[in-house]
Amino acid sequence: MAAERFKIRAIGNLESGRQMMSGNEFELEVARNVNEERLWERLMRLARIGESESGGVSRLALSNEETCARHLLIQWGAELGLTIYTDDISNLFFRLDGADPQAPPVMSGSHIDTQPNGGKFDGAFGVVAAFEVLQAIRESGHATFRSVEAVVWLNEEGSRFAPGMMGSDVFTGRRNLVDCLPVRDAEGISVAAALEETQKSFRSVPRRPFGFPVSSFIEAHIEQGPRLEAANLSVGVVTGIQGSRRFRVRVTGEQAHAGTAAMVSRKDALFSATSMIQAMRRKLLAGQLDLKFTVGLFEIYPNAPSVVPSSAYFSVDVRHPDDAVLEDAGNLVRELCESNRGSCAVEVDEIAVSRSLEFPQEMQQCIRSCAELLGIPSMPIYSLAGHDARQLHYHCSTGMIFTPCHAGISHSDQESCLAGDLTLATRVLAASVSNLANRRSSWTSTRSNRNTRVQTSAIRWLFETFAWCIRMSRAPDPYMP
């Protein structure tokens, strides 16, 4: 069914688009320049870096595998004649200059880090699609008014360093770099140490300050759910992202002999932790069909078969599109852990809070109109997963494009997409980015506090720029393109 879906559209609808909208020749030309074979080949080359025996990908943030992937992207950028930048948290930027290089750019991109034994397309598709858009614009032979940039955000997944969205959070000022540097992975390696090691490989790439002005951002991403495939559609216009609250819980008991310690006197951290989890599952999910409750990380110590565990450590992830429901559910986590700790002690740390959001109607309309221009049917769709676009939403006008993955499977080596679906979504992205990049003025959101955010970002950008200029004046290794 899906194969028939993209065969029909890829052959027929770009031609109908030519006839329908002769006044949008640039968007049509750029969309036509999107090359399915090139897009797929790049995705498969990227997927080989960190490839697992089962066909998945393990490419964690700031790992050797991710460093190799960065080298590949920089090679592609150099081949396309793009200007390449990084920043102090190792986000990567690939810039195609527009007619007015001083105008805030249009950005598109995603992330290249994965979950352990994750999929080939989560994040990677958005990055490779952004590269394809830059090449399609260059092949058109015309410059856009605004510069266009492909961006690779650091540590979106949070699978090595928690929480995720680290690169986009720091760029937009929602977190400070100094707060991220002490975070450690399971091996005890800090973000600071991993960053230093990664940055050794890219000393010649110039750094930019955080928070510089951006006109708009569009992230292309696989849906990670089953709705588009069920609707037999290749493109979803994302309306918003549901909120989440994330916790880490540490339970401390007392190590003892499994054969001699009396049951009534034990301080078993594992039993206490599982009591907490079951209590949360019962209470949080009661009557809440749309609430998502997940314990995805669980560790015990000493993890020996003949020893009563002295400590347990686990994650709690709560999500819901209604902020009021999310607030109430999240507030129960600490209460339920405390009331079900038994004879053990418990510490609950909330590490991240993200409220539900709606993307600007203007951005949704732009994407929807570009899909119509190309004759590609689409549907509105709400994101149940978090993305870097959430953070960019508070910095500039932001939108998202979804494309299906088979059966909605993601964060898995079984993650699968069709080349035709990815191509159609990339064509809509190409037309949308081209449209935005030729607008002389940036949109302002109808949100009441948008102006305050923009002013704060501008002030922060000035300070970052000043610090950056001082640092660059002392840099011993200037960039030579």
Q: If pLDDT is split at 50, 70 and 90, which confidence band does 465 have?
A: very low
- 459 compared with 214, residue with greater pLDDT: 214
Q: pLDDT, tens digit, for every residue of 327-352? A: 999 999 999 999 999 999 999 999 99
Give the phi and the psi of residue 286 in degrees, each rounded to 5.
Answer: -65, 110
* pLDDT of 302 over the 60 cut: yes
- Check residue 4 and give its pLDDT: 44
* pLDDT of 277 over the 50 cut: yes
Fold observed for domain 244-353: Alpha-Beta Plaits (3.30.70)
* pLDDT of 296 over the 60 cut: yes
* pLDDT of 71 over the 50 cut: yes
Q: Give the contacts of 115 (CB within 8 A, at least 6 positions apart).
A: 122, 157, 159, 411
Which residue matches tokens 């549901």?
242
Domain 2-241+357-473, CATH number (from 3.40.630.10, 3.40.50.300, 2.40.110.10, 3.90.180.10) = 3.40.630.10
Closest residue by Cα to residue 173 from 396, 398, 456: 456
Q: pLDDT, tens digit, for every residue of 91-137? A: 999 999 999 999 999 999 999 999 999 999 999 999 999 999 999 99
**Under 8 Å between Cβ of 110 and 153:** yes
Angle between helices 64-79 and 124-140 (to 10 degrees): 10
Q: How far apart are CA 58 and CA 114, in angstroms?
A: 6
- Check residue 352 and give its pLDDT: 93
Strand 92-96 vs strand 83-86: parallel, antiparallel, or unpaired?
antiparallel
Q: In the chain, where are the structural domains located?
A: 2-241+357-473, 244-353
44 three-class SS = helix
Strand 292-294 vs strand 243-252: parallel, antiparallel, or unpaired?
unpaired
Q: pLDDT, tens digit, for every residue of 237-264? A: 999 999 999 999 999 999 999 999 999 9
- Check residue 295 and give its pLDDT: 98
Structure tokens at 19: 């006839």
Q: If pLDDT is split at 50, 70 and 90, which confidence band does 174 have?
A: very high
472 three-class SS = helix
Q: What size, in residues, is the chain?
A: 481
Q: How far apart are CA 438 and CA 448, in angstroms?
A: 26
- Check residue 446 and give its pLDDT: 37
Which residue matches tokens 């053990």?
344
Closest residue by Cα to residue 271 from 318, 308, 243, 301: 308
Mean pLDDT of 433-445: 82
Q: pLDDT, tens digit, for every residue of 366-415? A: 999 999 999 999 999 999 999 999 999 999 999 999 999 999 999 999 99
Q: What percent of the chain has pLDDT over 70?
A: 87
- Check residue 443 and give its pLDDT: 60
Q: How far apart are CA 455 and CA 235, in angstroms?
A: 34
For residue 302, say if its preceding peptide bond is cis, omega within 30 degrees of 0: yes
- Check residue 16 and give its pLDDT: 40
- CATH topology identical between 2-241+357-473 and 244-353: no
Hey, which residues does 312 pair with through a beta bridge? 251, 300
* pLDDT of 21 over the 70 cut: no
Residue 105 DSSP one-character state: P
Structure tokens at 104: 């805030």
Three-state SS annotation for 233-296 = CCEEEEEEECEEEEEEEEEECCCEECCCCCHHHCCCHHHHHHHHHHHHHHHHHCCCCCCEEECC
- Of 16-25, 78-87, 384-393, least confident by mean pLDDT is 16-25
The secondary element (H helix, E strand) that includes residue 210 is: none
Average pLDDT, the chain: 90
- 200 compared with 18, residue with greater pLDDT: 200
Closest residue by Cα to residue 224 from 469, 449, 408: 408
- Check residue 441 and give its pLDDT: 82
pTM as predicted: 0.86
Q: How far apart are CA 386 and CA 338, in angstroms?
A: 28
Q: Give the contacts of 446 (CB within 8 A, at least 6 positions apart).
A: 360, 361
Q: How far apart are CA 50 and CA 364, in angstroms?
A: 35
- Check residue 24 and give its pLDDT: 86
**Under 8 Å between Cβ of 400 and 220:** yes
